[in-house]
Chain A
Amino acid sequence: MAVITVRYFAAFREQAGCDQETLTTAHATAGDLFAELAERHGFVDPTSRCKVAINDELTTWDASLQDGDQVLFFPPVAGG
C-alpha cells in the first residue's frame, strides 16, 4: 500500500469538489488509480485525452506509484 497525494485541476477540481486528497492505495499505476477516482468523482474524459504528472514531471498512465508521490491529474488542456 502507498500513501499518495492526488491533485485535481480545472474541470476535475470542480467535479471532485476539492483540489487535492491524500489516500492509501493498492493500485500499482497512475492509470489504475485514475480509473478508480474517475469513477468515484464522475470524470468521463478518457485517459487518451487527459494527462498525468508525478512529482511535477509529466509521465505515462502506466507509471508506477511510490509511497509519498504527488500525482497530478490534468483534464484535456485548452491553451491558446
Chain B
Amino acid sequence: MVSRFEIVAEPIDPRRLKAELEHQSAGASVCFEGWVRDHNDGRRVISLDYEAYAPVADKEGQRILEEAMQRFGLCAARCQHRAGALQLGDCAVWVGVCSAHRGAAFDACRYIIDEVKSRVPIWKKEHYGEGDSGWINCVTGQAS
C-alpha cells in the first residue's frame, strides 16, 4: 500500500502522484493542492521561500500519513511538500488519498494537510511588494 511523504526541491507533478494512488479497492479519491497566492494578512505577496529540515520533516510527515491510513482505513496516501523559492501559482503542497468510500477520503485529506501544517518542520518566508519579507507564524520573524 502506498503511504509516502517527501520534501522535494523540484516542481510537484500532480498527475504522476495521482497515478501512484490507483487501487482496485478504492471507490473515492480526494486530492488537495496548496498554491502560492498573491496576498496574505492584507499584504501583497510576490514570492515565497520554503525551508524544511528534511531528516525530521520526512519522518514526521510519514508518521502523519500512517496515522491517516490507520484512522480512516485508507487504501493509499501520498504527500509532497516543496522546499526552495516558489513563485505565485506554484503548487507548494500536494496531498492525495483514496479509500473505499468518499467520507473517509475527504476526512483523511483534511486531516493530513492540517497535521502537516502544524507538525512538520517547514517554514515559509514571504516576500512583499514593498520589498521587505517575513517568516510566517514567528513573533521573531520580522526580518527585512
Contact = CB atoms under 8 A, between A and B. Distances in A.
Contacts of B85: none
Interface of B is mostly: mixed
Contact of B123 (A9, A44, A53, A56): A9
B56 A78 contact: no
Interface magnitude class on chain B = 20 to 34
Contact of A77 (B34, B113, B122): B122
Interface string A28-43: 0000000000000011
B124 to A, nearest CB: 4
A80 B34 contact: yes
Interface residues of A, number: 24
Contacts of A20: none
A78 B124 contact: yes
Nearest to B95: A80
Contacts of A76: 137-138
Contact of B141 (A56, A57, A75): A75
Contacts of A51: 121
B81 interface: yes
7 contacts: A10-B125, A11-B143, A58-B56, A58-B59, A75-B123, A75-B138, A77-B122
Given A78-B136, A78-B137, A80-B81, 13 more contacts: A10-B125, A10-B135, A11-B138, A15-B140, A43-B140, A44-B139, A44-B140, A58-B56, A72-B56, A76-B137, A77-B123, A78-B122, A80-B122
